[in-house]
C-alpha cells in the first residue's frame, strides 16, 4: 500500500439516485483541490456523476465528505472510482445500502499517468458524444411532440366542424318536423270543422225526415176520413 491513502469511512446509497462518500486523505501533503467526480463503469456505459455537495479543501487528515447525484435513472455498475481533478484517483468498493454496514477501509490514492489521462479524455469524449446524441434525440422528440399536438388540434377542429354540421342538420330536421306538425294540426282543425258541419247537416236532415213523416201521417188520416162518409151514403 502506498503512502498516499484515503481512509474510507462510508460509501453509501443515501437515496435511490444519490451516493455519498465520507473519509479523509492521508499522506498527500496538501488537500486535494480538484472537483470530485464519481466514475461508475457498467458493462455497456460509463457514468460520470458530478458532486452536488462536497466540502471545501480540507487539511491533511481532516474529515472529507461529498455527495453525487445521478443525471438519469440509475443503472447497475461493476466498478466505482473517485476522481479528484486531473490527477488523483481512488478505486472504491461496492457501496452499501445501510450506513450502519460501513466499515473503515484504507484505499490507495493513485496519481493519474499518461495512459489513465488518455482513458479519462476518451471517456470525456464519449460522454460529450452521448450528450450530443441525447440533444439530437431531444430535438426529434420535441418535433414529434409538436407534430402530434398539431394533429390533435386538427382532429379537434374537425370534430368541432362535424358537431356544428350535425347541430345545423338537427335544427333543420327539427324545423321541418315542426312545419309538418303544424300542417297536420291545420288538417285536423279542417276535419273537425267538416265533421261539425256534417253533424249539423245530419241533424237538419233528421228533423226534415221527422217533419215529412208527420205530414204523411196527417195526409193518411185525412184520406181515411173522406172515404168513410162516402161509403156510408151508398148503403141501403
Residue 23 is predicted with a pLDDT of 92
Question: 45-101, pLDDT tens digit by residue?
Answer: 999 999 987 765 566 678 899 999 998 999 999 999 999 988 899 999 999 988 777
Task: Yes or no: say if 13 and 96 are a contact pair by the CB < 8 Å rule.
Answer: yes
Phi and psi, residue 127, nearest 5°: -65, -45
Residue 46 is predicted with a pLDDT of 93
Residue 119 is predicted with a pLDDT of 54
| CB-CB neighbours of 112 under 10 Å | 17
Q: Is 70 exceeded by the pLDDT of residue 137?
A: yes
Neighbour-count burial for 164-183, b at 16+ CB within 10 Å, e otherwise: eeeeeeeeeeeeeeeeeeee
**The pTM is what?**
0.47
Average pLDDT over residues 173-192: 80
Q: Is 60 exceeded by the pLDDT of residue 120?
A: no
Q: Is 80 exceeded by the pLDDT of residue 32?
A: no
Question: 185-219, pLDDT tens digit by residue?
Answer: 887 788 777 777 777 777 777 887 888 888 878 88
Q: Is 50 exceeded by the pLDDT of residue 234?
A: no
Residue 153 is predicted with a pLDDT of 84
Among candidate residues 114, 61, 108, 58, the one with its CA nearest the CA of residue 81: 108
Query: What rounded mean pLDDT belongs to the chain?
Result: 80
Residue 114 is predicted with a pLDDT of 47
Residue 47 is predicted with a pLDDT of 94
Distance CA 191, CA 180 (A): 16
- In DSSP notation, the chain reads --S-EEEEEEEEEEETTEEEEEEEEES-SS---SPEEEEEE-SS-EEEEEEEEEPPP--TT-EEEEEEE-SSS----SEEEEEETTTEEEEE-PPBSSGGG---EEEEEEEP-HHHHHHHHHHHHHHHHHHHHHHHHHHHHHHHHHHHHHHHHHHHHHHHHHHHHHHHHHHHHHHHHHHHHHHHHHHHHHHHHHHHHHHHHHHHHHHHHHHHHHHHHHHHHHHHHHHHHHHHHH--
Distance CA 38, CA 139 (A): 29
Amino acid at each position: 500500500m502506498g503512502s498516499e491513502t484515503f481512509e474510507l469511512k462510508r460509501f453509501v446509497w443515501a437515496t435511490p439516485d444519490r451516493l455519498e462518500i465520507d473519509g479523509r486523505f492521508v499522506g498527500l501533503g496538501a488537500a486535494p483541490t480538484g472537483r470530485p467526480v464519481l466514475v461508475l463503469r457498467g458493462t455497456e456505459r460509463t457514468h460520470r456523476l458530478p458532486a452536488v455537495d462536497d466540502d471545501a479543501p480540507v487539511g491533511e487528515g481532516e474529515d472529507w465528505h461529498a455527495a453525487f447525484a445521478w443525471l438519469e435513472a440509475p443503472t447497475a455498475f461493476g466498478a466505482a472510482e473517485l476522481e479528484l481533478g486531473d490527477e488523483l484517483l481512488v478505486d472504491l468498493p461496492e457501496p452499501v445500502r445501510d450506513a450502519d454496514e460501513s466499515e473503515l477501509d484504507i484505499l490507495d490514492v493513485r496519481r493519474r499517468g499518461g495512459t489513465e489521462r488518455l482513458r479519462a479524455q476518451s471517456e470525456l469524449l464519449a460522454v460529450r458524444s452521448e450528450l450530443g446524441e441525447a440533444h439530437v434525440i431531444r430535438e426529434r422528440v420535441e418535433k414529434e411532440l409538436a407534430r402530434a399536438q398539431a394533429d390533435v388540434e386538427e382532429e379537434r377542429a374537425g370534430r368541432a366542424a362535424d358537431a356544428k354540421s350535425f347541430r345545423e342538420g338537427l335544427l333543420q330536421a327539427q324545423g321541418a318536423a315542426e312545419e309538418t306538425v303544424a300542417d297536420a294540426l291545420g288538417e285536423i282543425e279542417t276535419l273537425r270543422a267538416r265533421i261539425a258541419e256534417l253533424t249539423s247537416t245530419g241533424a237538419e236532415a233528421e228533423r226534415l225526415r221527422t217533419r215529412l213523416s208527420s205530414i204523411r201521417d196527417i195526409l193518411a188520416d185525412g184520406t181515411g176520413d173522406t172515404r168513410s162518409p162516402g161509403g156510408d151514403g151508398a148503403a141501403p
